[in-house]
Amino acid sequence: MAASGSAESRTAHFRPDIQGLRAVAVLLVLLYHAGLPWVSGGYVGVDIFFVISGFLITSHIVREVDLKGRLDLVAFYARRARRILPAALAVLAVSMVVAYLVIPPFEREGLLQDAAATALYVPNMLFAVQDTDYLASEAPSIFQHYWSLGIEEQFYLFWPVVLTMVLKFLGHRRWALWAAVGGLVAASFVGCLALMSVSESWAFFALPTRAWELGVGALVAIAVSRGVRVSSPVGGVAAWGGLAAAAAAGFLLTDATSFPGVATLLPVLGTAAVILCGTARLSPAWLLERRPMQFVGAISYSLYLVHWPMVLIPQTAVEGSLPEWLKVALSALAVPVAYLCYRFVETPFRRAPSRTRVSHRRTVAVSLAASVALGAVSATSAGAVARIPIHSGNEAPEYAGQPNPSGTPYVPANMSPDLRSAPEDNPEIYRDGCLRDTRDDDGSGCQEGADPAAPTVALFGDSHAANWHPALRAIADDGQIELDVNAKSSCESVATENSPNDYPTCAEWRDNVIERLHEDPPDVIMLANYAAHHSADAEDREQYWQDALEHTIERLPQESQVLIMVDTPTMPAVPMSCLSRHVEDAERCAANRETTLEEGLDAPTRQAERTVAEDDGRVDRVDLTAYFCNDETCPAVIDDRLVYRDTHHLTRTFSDAMRPAVEEALVNLVDGIERTA
Domain boundary among 328, 345, 362: 345
Is the pLDDT at 539 greater than 80? The verdict is: no
C-alpha to C-alpha distance for 597 and 35, rounded to whole angstroms? 28
Q: What is the pLDDT of residues 130-152, one digit of tens each?
A: 988 887 766 789 999 999 999 99
User: Going by DSSP bridges, is the β-strand pair 591-592/524-528 parallel, antiparallel, or unpaired?
Assistant: unpaired
The answer on 662 and 522 residing in a single domain is: yes
Total domain count, the chain: 2
Clarify whether residues 641 and 537 are in a common domain: yes
Please, are residues 492 and 460 in contact by the beta-carbon 8 Å criterion? no
Report pLDDT for 1: 45
Asked if residue 300 and residue 427 are part of one domain, the reply reads no
Residues 6+ apart with CB under 8 A from 20: 285, 287, 288, 289, 290, 293, 294, 297
Residue 11: the pLDDT is: 42
**pTM of the complete model:** 0.87
Average pLDDT over residues 343-362: 76
Is 352 part of a structural domain of the chain? no
**Can you spell out the DSSP letters for 263-320?**
GGHHHHHHHHHHHHHTTSTT-THHHHTSHHHHHHHHTHHHHHHHHHHHHHHHHHHSSS
pLDDT of 230 higher than 70: yes
**404 lies in some domain:** no
Percent of the chain predicted with pLDDT > 70? 92
583/104 Cα distance (integer angstroms): 11
Instruction: Tell whether the model's pLDDT for residue 179 goes beyond 90.
Output: no
Q: What is the overall mean pLDDT for the chain?
A: 89
Identify whether residues 498 and 591 lie together within a single domain: yes
pLDDT band at 174 (very low <50, low <70, confident <90, very high): low
Residue 429 sits in the same domain as residue 338:
no
Q: Name the residue range of residue 521's domain.
A: 422-667
For residues 448 and 315, state if they share a domain. Answer: no
Name the residue with higher pLDDT: 138 or 466.
Answer: 466
User: What confidence score (pLDDT) does residue 575 get?
Assistant: 93
Q: Which residue has the higher pLDDT, 355 or 222?
A: 222
Write out pLDDT tens, residues 363-409. Answer: 889 999 999 999 999 999 999 999 999 999 999 999 999 999 999 99
Q: Write the pLDDT tens digit of every residue in 42-74.
A: 999 999 999 999 999 999 998 888 888 788 899
Residue predicted with more confidence, 524 or 198: 524
pLDDT at 66: 81
In this structure, the answer to whether residues 333 and 434 fall within a common structural domain is no
For residue 99, tell me if it sits in a domain.
yes
Say yes or no: 443 and 303 in one domain.
no
**7 or 269, which is more confident:** 269
Domain-embedded: residue 269: yes
**Is 71 part of a structural domain of the chain?**
yes
Binned at pLDDT 50, 70 and 90, residue 255 comes out as confident
Domain final position from 312, 345, 378: 345
Q: Is residue 599 predicted with pLDDT exceeding 80?
A: no
| Span 476-511, pLDDT tens digits | 999 999 999 999 998 999 988 777 665 678 899 999
CATH code where residue 610 lies: 3.40.50.1110
Residue 178 in domain: yes
Shared-domain flag, residues 320 and 431:
no
Name the pLDDT band for 433 (thresholds 50, 70, 90): confident
- Asked whether residue 672 is domain-assigned, the answer is no
427, 341: one domain: no
Confidence category of residue 350, pLDDT binned at 50, 70, 90: confident
Do 641 and 458 form a contact (C-beta atoms < 8 A)? Answer: no
Q: What pLDDT sits at residue 170?
A: 72
Domain stops at, among 345, 371, 388: 345
Q: Are residues 34 and 127 in the same domain?
A: yes
* Comparison of pLDDT for 610 and 66, the residue scoring more: 610
Are 341 and 430 found together in one domain?
A: no
Q: Please give the pLDDT value at position 426.
A: 93
- Is 392 a domain residue? no
